[in-house]
Amino acid sequence: MRNGIIYIPRGTDIRRETEVLMDIPSLSMALSQNRVLTDVGVAMLSKNLDFMKDVGSNFAEQIDSVSELSVNPNVGSNIDIRL
């Protein structure tokens, strides 16, 4: 390759012949394994989503309980910044 140009010697056949072999049992096994892995991934994501919903609801409850227990609810709700 010189100057971004590929030089092919004269008489070279640049066409590639490909042979397609179909191995049905291997293809079936690969598809089955792929389906199982996909199902496992979906189940794990579903459990993770349920867990995160529980964590979020517990967090919201804790925030509400802290604000109710505050002696002076207006203190700490604003921040004064000077530059």
The pLDDT of residue 42:
96
The model's pTM is 0.48
Q: What are the DSSP calls for 27-60, one per residue?
A: HHHHHHHHHHHHHHHHHHHHHHHHHHHHHHHHHH
Residue 15 forms part of a structural domain: no
How confident is the model over 16-72, as pLDDT tens digits? 555 556 678 888 888 999 999 999 999 999 999 999 999 998 888 887 776 655 566
Total tally of structural domains belonging to the chain: 1
Distance CA 11, CA 8 (A): 9
Residue 61 forms part of a structural domain: yes
Contact indicator for 61, 69 with CB cutoff of 8 Å: no
Residue 56 forms part of a structural domain: yes
Question: Which domain covers residue 51, as residue numbers?
Answer: 25-69
The pLDDT of residue 47:
96
